[in-house]
Amino acid sequence: MRRTVNAALLALPALLPPLWGASAQAPGRNTLVVMREIDADNYDPPRSTARGAGEVAYMLSDTLVSLDWDQKTVRPGLAESWTVSEDGKLYTFKLRRGVTFCDGKPFTARDVAYTVTRWADPATRSPVRWRAGPVKEVRAVDDHTVEYELNEPYGELLYQLTLFFGSMVDQATVEKLGQNHGVQGFNGTGPYCWASWTPRQELVMTRHPNYNWGPPIYQNPSPQVERIVWRVVPEANTRLAGLQTGQGDVTQYIPYFALPQLRAVPSVKLSKQENYFWDHFMGFKVDKPVVNDPAVRRAVNLAVNRAAIAQAAFFGAATPADAYLNPNVAGFDPEAAKMVPSFNPDEARKVLDEAGWKPGPDGVRVKDGQRASFVVYAISTQIARVQSEAIQADLRRVGVEMRIQLWDATVAWGKLATQEFDAFFMSYPYISATDAFALYFDSRNRPTPNRMNWVDPETDRLLAEAKTALDPAVRERAIAGAQRRVSEANVWLPLAREQLWVASGPRVEGVRAHGIYGIGLYKGLDIRLTR
């Protein structure tokens, strides 16, 4: 018996050497493995608002115009040039010649007309249909000329057309696949072609052999990598270890706590986008008790230490938000930024005192029998947890009680569409000041995304003017005016501006963080593998 057992014990490790001796699994030569946290719901551009969908859509297809690294300058895309009529209602795009879809079919103006018409069609159920603008008709004048006619001027159109929702689609493929377009296949004009998708696992794309019409912001007009695998690696630690061991090549899904460590790893390169427009804020429902008092909202803005929150919740990898918008975004108004109160707890107490909010027996202020207490809703994330607790402590110090209710992501969006709460935490990407403000502060957008119930005819008028005025200077003045009205009323508590970092492994070169709609790699045309 003892001999048998000994033999078995000896035999066990003997089975293992082939595994021990083998090197870890590595991606194939000229195959780039991009690791990300979650998959998208589908890859049909107008039907998904997921960042994951955009990451892939930008590589599978092209937009009419592209966006420079500064996130302000619109550059040629599939359209080489464009003109705008005097009344601002007709955009005429001249298309590049020699562009083909992945199946070899020539790309023409009819494809643009089909793509935009489908995007704007209510039957498509696009959650971002409004981004296409007030479309009257999009028509092909000839194979290389498109007329994009609007019912009214829309100064944001070019910015909106840089977003992946307007990526070109092939009518025949859409009609063949129906609801499965972007699920079972996709035929685009992008630098890479759809190879396969295993939902929640990986999407594989291969180099588009004819592609040489990349946006001018890249050094290379053609892709440098043969194959890209977008692999879902949900666990943050696994992603980080995978990057350092070469099991994955690139990721933008870096937990904030890991950035200092990654900076110290010589084999990992980090690219940061300074012009990254993804902000965190707390919004107030301005028609609910307590937070309907402008003094309370101002006091909250004064009482919260944003710098400490950026440190605690983002490990210093976020910028404290001292304004509603990033100063680098198109349409940013510095005067409005000055109206956002800076951290000053004493001033917060003074504002509350003057407004009649007197300290109650439990330390929470009271006015006309109403306690200075409100409920905040947020999606349950680590950032929201730390952020809300820090704010709760800051507010308590000035006599305001904030009750926190965090919701699991599965129920949060439904809850955030209700009127049950007084304030909420959220983060969002934007492309211009008008893009951000027209979405969140237009009274017609209640109850979502205008969850603040902000109804101000003057804001509405300014937003309409910012979108429709023909003169860019008038548009700029209008959006500045909207920012001032909202900032003055303290409708939000701006909290932090995210930073975009993209990490790449030792065999990858040419990675540069872009950041459009939160997307790190954009077209990735300069990315190459050294081995």
Partner 1 sequence: MARHALHRLLLAVPVLFGVLLLGFLLMQVVPTDPATVRAGPTATPEVIAAIRSDLGLDRPLWEQFGRYLWRLGQGDLGVSIINNVAVTQELGATVGPTLELMLASLFWSIPLGILLGTLAAYWRGSIFDRAVMAVAVACATVPVFFLALLLIWFVGFKWQLLPFTGRGGPLWTLDGLKAVALPAIALGGTFIGPVARMTRTAVLDVLGADHVRTARAKGLGERAVVLRHALRNALIPVVTLIGLQIGFLLGGAVVTETVFSWPGVGRLAVGAILSSDFPMAQGTILVLSLGFILVNLSVDMIYAALDPRMRAA
By the criterion CB under 8 A, which residues form the site for partner 1?
1, 4-5, 8, 12, 18-20, 22-25, 35, 38-39, 41-42, 48-50, 122, 125-129, 179-180, 183, 198-202, 231-235, 237-238, 241-242, 244-245, 247-248, 409-411, 413-417, 426, 428, 439, 445, 447-449
Nearest residue (CB) to partner 1, 44 versus 465: 44
Nearest residue (CB) to partner 1, 127 versus 260: 127
Is 79:94 a contact under the CB 8 Å cutoff?
yes
Q: Where are the alpha helices (DSSP H) in 334-373?
A: 334-338, 345-354
203: nearest Cα among 190, 211, 193: 193
Instruction: Decide: helix, strand or coil at residue 403.
Output: strand
Instruction: Report in angstroms how near the CB of residue 409 gets to partner 1 at its nearest.
Output: 6
Distance CA(482)–CA(148), nearest Å, equals 28
Instruction: Decide: helix, strand or coil at residue 505.
Output: coil
Nearest residue (CB) to partner 1, 187 versus 450: 450
What DSSP state is assigned to residue 360? -
Instruction: Report in angstroms how near the CB of residue 400 gets to partner 1 at its nearest.
Output: 27
Complete edge-to-edge strand list for the sheet that includes strand 90-95: 79-84, 90-95, 145-150, 135-142
Is 300:357 a contact under the CB 8 Å cutoff?
no
Instruction: Report in angstroms how near the CB of residue 84 gets to partner 1 at its nearest.
Output: 26
Q: Which amino acid belongs to residue 461?
A: R
Distance CA(92)–CA(85), nearest Å, equals 8
Nearest residue (CB) to partner 1, 67 versus 412: 412
Q: Is the peptide bond before 449 cis (omega within 30 degrees of 0)?
A: yes
Distance CA(286)–CA(301), nearest Å, equals 14
Instruction: Report in angstroms how near the CB of residue 93 gets to partner 1 at its nearest.
Output: 26
Instruction: Report in angstroms how near the CB of residue 412 gets to partner 1 at its nearest.
Output: 9
Q: Is the peptide bond before 447 cis (omega within 30 degrees of 0)?
A: yes
Distance CA(95)–CA(89), nearest Å, equals 19
Sign of CA pseudo-dihedral 136, 124, 141, 62: positive
Distance CA(420)–CA(105), nearest Å, equals 53
336: nearest Cα among 351, 323, 348, 319: 323
Question: Tokens 């052999």 appear where?
Answer: 209
Nearest residue (CB) to partner 1, 213 versus 230: 230
Nearest residue (CB) to partner 1, 82 versus 424: 424
Nearest residue (CB) to partner 1, 51 versus 523: 51
Sequence-distant (≥ 6) Cβ neighbours of residue 510 within 8 angstroms:
224, 526, 527, 528
**Ramachandran region, residue 260 (left: φ > 0; alpha: ψ -120 to 50; beta: rest):** alpha
Nearest residue (CB) to partner 1, 48 versus 189: 48
* Rounded to 5°, angle at Cα 288 from 490 and 447: 85
Paired tokens of 353: 């005192």
Instruction: Report in angstroms how near the CB of residue 51 gets to partner 1 at its nearest.
Output: 11
Nearest residue (CB) to partner 1, 293 versus 498: 498
Distance CA(258)–CA(254), nearest Å, equals 7
Instruction: Report in angstroms how near the CB of residue 408 gets to partner 1 at its nearest.
Output: 8
Instruction: Report in angstroms how near the CB of residue 133 gets to partner 1 at its nearest.
Output: 16
Instruction: Report in angstroms how near the CB of residue 125 gets to partner 1 at its nearest.
Output: 6
Nearest residue (CB) to partner 1, 201 versus 382: 201
Q: Which amino acid belongs to residue 352?
A: L
Instruction: Report in angstroms how near the CB of residue 30 gets to partner 1 at its nearest.
Output: 18
Nearest residue (CB) to partner 1, 200 versus 338: 200
DSSP bridge partners of 365 = 359
Instruction: Report in angstroms how near the CB of residue 448 gets to partner 1 at its nearest.
Output: 7
